[in-house]
Chain A
Amino acid sequence: MINKKVSHTKIKIIEPEVGWQSIDWMELYEYRDLLYFLILRDIKSIYKQTVLGFGWAIIRPVFSMIIFSIIFGGLAKIPSDSIPYPIFSYAALIPWTYFSSSMTFSTQSLISGKAIFTKVYFPRLIIPLTPVLSKLVDFAISFVLLFVLMAWYHIAPTINIIWIPVLILLMILTASGIGMWLSAMAIQYRDIPHGIQFLSQLLMYAAPVVWPVSLISEKFGETAILYYSLYPMVGVIEGFRSALLGHNPMPWDILGIGTISATFLFITGAYYFKKKESIFADVA
């Protein structure tokens, strides 16, 4: 659809969409109130339905941290860049939990949201982007516990803390990109939602959550790291660790490459989503 503003009235043309469509970012901005209320709905409904309410935002990463510390840190003795293992993994678990839950909910978003987009028009891109933003609340809550842990381990944050917002942006960019890809695929191909848990596990072990990046450079050399950096979460996780725990310098090279691939993922995701958009209501 093309929106043309002619004097005060908007003229909309509805016709078959052929090939790649451009993305109407202006329209998304116009519907920001809807995005806001959908995010609010997500947050309120999850917490109204549970006894622990916001406590759940902390329980998942804390549980993982405990289990990982026992198994990977204690039993398997995975190196953790000379930082106590619990906080080594928790610093990674915060952004990881955000990414994984955002990815899972985003993928499912079109399927669970079909009741609304088959009945009324609004820019469909809002649907996968809603969990990407609403999961930030969980993210923020789990962050609080991090400072408690840091105090416990007597680790002071470094000046690199000022880069945390940048890391968060990269995290959001990656989550949006993969969310757009997977949600559009999931509404059409019904096996995708079943595979998402599996994919999430795979991606977690592929990311340096339970083990440090230094293992890669030891085993495979420095150039391997450059390829590995194409996985944007590598940069995010190592960046978080560096900024908060100060054991390593900020990994700018990893982040640089990660940003490029995340941007590519985002742009291609948006175009793929837009291309498939016209059949959502038909296949839902």
Chain B
Amino acid sequence: MKNAIKVENLSKRYRIGMKEELHDTFVGSLVSWVKSPLSNFRQVQELSKFDKNGDTGNSIWAIKDVSFEVEHGQVLGIIGGNGAGKSTLLKILAGITKPTEGRAVINGRIGSLLEVGTGFHPELTGRENLYLGGTILGMKKIEIDNKCDEIIDFSGIEKFIDTPVKRYSSGMRIRLAFSVAAHLEPEILLIDEVLAVGDIDFQKKCLGKMDNLSKGGRTVVFVSHNLLAVNDLCSNGILLENGRILIYDKVENAIKYYMEGRVKRGVGEHIWEEEKAPGDNRIKLKAIRIKSEGSITNTPSLENEIDIEIDYWNYIDNMGLLVGVHLINSTGVTVFTSANFEGASLIRDNWFYKNYPKGLFRTICKIPAFLLNEGIYTVHLYINKKLDWAVILGQKDVIGFRVKDSFEMRRDYTGKWTGVIRPKLGWFTEKID
């Protein structure tokens, strides 16, 4: 087989609900078996048995009919919203869970990094955990013996390598764990979001090491929400939604399709009913909308002010709240983060200075005209406690919009105008000699 990975109609179904019928106690299943031997026994015995009719509302297809091939040495990114099936797909490829239908053929030794520090035990020293972590990932003892010094060196925690890991800070633990994982040399590497940990410098180091891995001809499958990392590292991308492949293309196209899809779906506004709204018994999100020139739109022009309107219920009396957004562009770059506290806000938001009573509130964030470049953006929303900035309501990718170009700025220029932002700046020329 010339490809590293070949996936054919892979599907995975999970049973949900049905607690009354499903026995998770041995005594329960035994009693049931005695009562009505044939049918109950079969049904009760396995969580993985389903009736032939497929979805009955009691099960969901985490992935359905997924087919694709990955060539040797390719770096493939898998992106999609929450619950799209990315982690499930990776778990199946890693051999952790079995598919319900379909098959995958893997040509090469697989290493999977779904978590950093798998198997680490707090009572053991760093060195002992190094060996344990390495063998869990699939390395042989001899291999670890050879690389031990290199691994310790890369982690940067040489001084503490012989102290029990329970004394490590979380940063140290991550450095050791990632260092072990980075020295795994499988032919195919599966990674799930593990780069979302550790400090920036170490992350860069790890990204660099991963880059080396892929240049060394290794095949990598990378699942992440971090579109910037996906864009940087991957050549191709698969977009999953509700367990199906929407697109398998060059990574830039997959990302673009993902962002565009989010813009198409919303129409500038999301509204929720109170029972189903995101949030909990402290704050619930009622609606979020994008407005420009007084009307709701998801394609505002960059020459107008863009308003992000956030409607939310506050359920706890006398709460000090802080509302903020992160704006991310289509390559995953965070364009800005901002919130309604003094110093960050152009105008004084009076409610920031008061404690909120119970009730329904609307916070508006006004983005100036001539700031954002044309393109697609996604918004992450955060409502925090004012006192300690603890997040009460955090919603990533809560709404998306496309900024349209302005003819006023362009005039006669028809080419591509690069730049994360596109502000009007002050330009002045004078003759000095």
Contact = CB atoms under 8 A, between A and B. Distances in A.
A39 to B, nearest CB: 11
B47 interface: yes
Contact of A37 (B27, B93, B101, B132): B132
Contacts of B141: 33, 36-37
Interface string A156-196: 00000000000000000000000000000100111110010
A283 interface: yes
B406 interface: no
Interface in B11-48: 14, 23-29, 46-48
Contacts of B105: 11-14
A206 to B, nearest CB: 20
Interface string A33-72: 1101110110011001100000000000000000000000
Contact of A44 (B47, B93, B100, B123): B123
Interface string A106-129: 000000000111111110000000
Given A13-B103, A121-B112, A41 B121 contact: yes
Contacts of B48: 278-279, 282
A46 to B, nearest CB: 9
B47 A14 contact: no
B96 A45 contact: no
Interface string A191-206: 1100100000000000
B119 interface: yes
Given A44-B128, A122-B136, A188-B24, A15 B102 contact: yes
Interface size range of chain B in the complex: 35 or more
B106 A11 contact: yes
B369 interface: no
Contacts of A48: 123-124, 164
Contacts of B107: 9-11
A190 B22 CA distance: 12
Nearest to A38: B132
B91 interface: yes
Contacts, number: 134
A116 B97 contact: no
Interface string A80-123: 00000000000000000000000000000000000111111110
B99 interface: yes
A191 B24 CA distance: 8
Contacts of A191: 25-28
Given A1-B95, A37-B135, A120-B94, A14 B104 contact: yes
Interface residues of A, number: 42
A14 B91 contact: no
A49 B110 CA distance: 35
B320 interface: no
A19 interface: no
Contacts of A45: 121, 123-124
A27 to B, nearest CB: 11
B123 to A, nearest CB: 4
Interface string B44-59: 0011100000000000
Nearest to B94: A121
B118 A119 contact: yes
B226 to A, nearest CB: 20
Contact of B131 (A15, A37, A278): A37
Q: Which of A13, A45, A48, A120 has the most CB of B within 10 A?
A: A120
A121 B95 contact: yes
B392 interface: no
A119 B133 CA distance: 12
Q: Which of B29, B97, B104, B140 has the most CB of A within 10 A?
A: B97
B278 interface: no
A130 to B, nearest CB: 12
A136 to B, nearest CB: 19
A242 B150 CA distance: 54
A125 B307 CA distance: 58
A116 B124 contact: no
A25 B388 CA distance: 55
B121 to A, nearest CB: 6
B108 A10 contact: yes
B279 interface: no
A115 B118 CA distance: 7
Contacts of A195: 26
Interface in A252-284: 278-279, 281-283
A17 interface: yes
B29 A189 contact: yes
Given A41-B121, A192-B26, A281-B91, A33 B140 contact: yes
Contacts of A11: 1, 105-107
B92 interface: yes
A283 B29 contact: no
**Smallest CB-CB A-B distances: 7 pairs:** A189-B26, A121-B95, A191-B25, A15-B103, A278-B98, A34-B135, A14-B104
Interface of A: 1, 9-17, 31, 33-34, 36-38, 40-41, 44-45, 48-49, 115-122, 185, 188-192, 195, 278-279, 281-283
19 contacts: A11-B1, A12-B95, A14-B95, A14-B103, A31-B135, A37-B131, A41-B132, A44-B128, A119-B118, A120-B96, A120-B119, A120-B136, A120-B138, A121-B138, A189-B26, A189-B27, A189-B28, A279-B48, A282-B47
Given A44-B124, A48-B123, 10 more contacts: A14-B92, A14-B95, A37-B132, A44-B128, A119-B112, A120-B118, A191-B28, A195-B26, A279-B47, A282-B48
